[in-house]
Amino acid sequence: MKIATWNVNSLNVRLGHVLDWLGAEQPEVLALQEIKMTDDRFPLEAFHEAGYEAIFSGQKTYNGVALISRAPAREVIRDIADLEDPARRILGATIDGVRILDLYVVNGQEVGSEKYAHKLHWLDKVTAHIGGELQQHECFVVLGDFNIAPEDRDVHDPAAWHERILCSTPEREALNRLRALGLEDCYRLFDQDPEQYSWWDYRAAGFRRNLGLRIDLILASTAMARKCTRCWIDKAPRKLERPSDHTPVVAEFDVARTPS
DNA sequence: ATGGTTGTTAAACAA
């Protein structure tokens, strides 16, 4: 079972890339972020023609998440308890017996800002929600654009990014509290080449110079992590004409594998 | 080089 995440930075602009990538990679689940469209504009028919189901939670201009899947999504949620948030950043569903939570984590703009405080609060509430999900679902995956680089090795220039947004200690601690619930960063379950990132700023030729951060993550419950056979970053879409600033991250799970 | 680019939506805002 192949599960992927991709911040597409406008599904209107990136639909062709997404459909091409689905055709090439054939994932069972693709979690999208920043689709930037209202639900009435969602290109459902295009996904159906490609052989996929889709659920989505969108809004005008900003944010917006979607789950594209071979199998239908059950028990869908678009909000969580104790978090009043008009921004469409959360989409949960059960697909093929796996509980999936697609997140577009608040960016936070700048350390110390109002948006930064909101990011930490938002992460607290989402962490509490995930604690409940983990009690109900042994097979659980939370994935998306976390807007946090977990460690300095996930940052092209740790000195330049020291205590800056996406890398600050409080953000990393919030991510660690989430992971401490019993979630593994699938990418780090395996040996990986150094300097592998999932996002590069459009500015200053960031991709060409590999000035990136690894902020797009796939976190799996203990039972799911045991089934994870591979996790990688697919840089191919970032090399295309008019790319998203993010590229897909993919994890493969052997769902038939018996937990030992 | 506190710059640079992209997307949405109408000059600014978010990332």
Q: Mean pLDDT, to the nearest integer, of A42-65?
A: 98
Q: Mean pLDDT, to the nearest integer, of A224-232?
A: 98
Q: Does the active-site annotation cover A210? A: no
CA dist list (Å): A232 to A145, A186, A193: 15, 9, 10
Beta bridge partners of A185: A219
- Cα–Cα distance measured from residue A194 to residue A151, given in angstroms and rounded to the nearest whole number: 13
pLDDT band at A140 (very low <50, low <70, confident <90, very high): very high
**Residue A259 clears pLDDT 60, i.e. is over it:** no
pLDDT band at A260 (very low <50, low <70, confident <90, very high): low
- Cα–Cα distance measured from residue A39 to residue A65, given in angstroms and rounded to the nearest whole number: 10
Q: Which nucleotide in the DNA or RNA is closest to residue A60, CA to C1'?
A: B8
**Residue A69 clears pLDDT 70, i.e. is over it:** yes
Q: Does the active-site annotation cover A85? A: no
Beta bridge partners of A98: A95
Structure confidence at residue A256 (pLDDT): 84
d(CA A76, C1' B4) / Å:
40
Task: Report how many helices (DSSP H) and strands (DSSP E) chain A contains, helices first.
Answer: 6, 14
Amino acid symbol at A135: Q
Extract the tokens encoding A90. Answer: 């959360």
Residue nearest to nucleotide B14 (CA to C1'): A62
The string of pLDDT tens digits covering residues A96-135 is 999 999 999 999 999 999 999 999 999 999 999 999 999 9
Q: Does the active-site annotation cover A185? A: no
The string of pLDDT tens digits covering residues A14-31 is 999 999 999 999 999 999
Helix (H) or strand (E) holding A90: strand A90-95
**Residue A188 clears pLDDT 90, i.e. is over it:** yes
Q: Which nucleotide in the DNA or RNA is closest to residue A104, CA to C1'?
A: B15
Whether the beta carbon of A113 falls within 7 A of nucleic chain B: the reply is no
Q: Is A217:A250 a contact under the CB 8 Å cutoff?
A: no
Q: Does the active-site annotation cover A34? A: yes
The string of pLDDT tens digits covering residues A147-165 is 999 999 999 999 999 999 9
Among the listed residues A145, A154, A171, A185, the single catalytic one is A145
Length of chain A (residues): 260
DSSP H helical ranges for chain A: 11-25, 44-49, 114-136, 158-161, 169-179, 222-227
- The 3 state secondary structure assigned to A79-103 is CCCCCCCCCCCEEEEEECCEEEEEE
Q: Which nucleotide in the DNA or RNA is closest to residue A204, CA to C1'?
A: B4
Average pLDDT, chain A: 97
Q: Does the active-site annotation cover A39? A: no
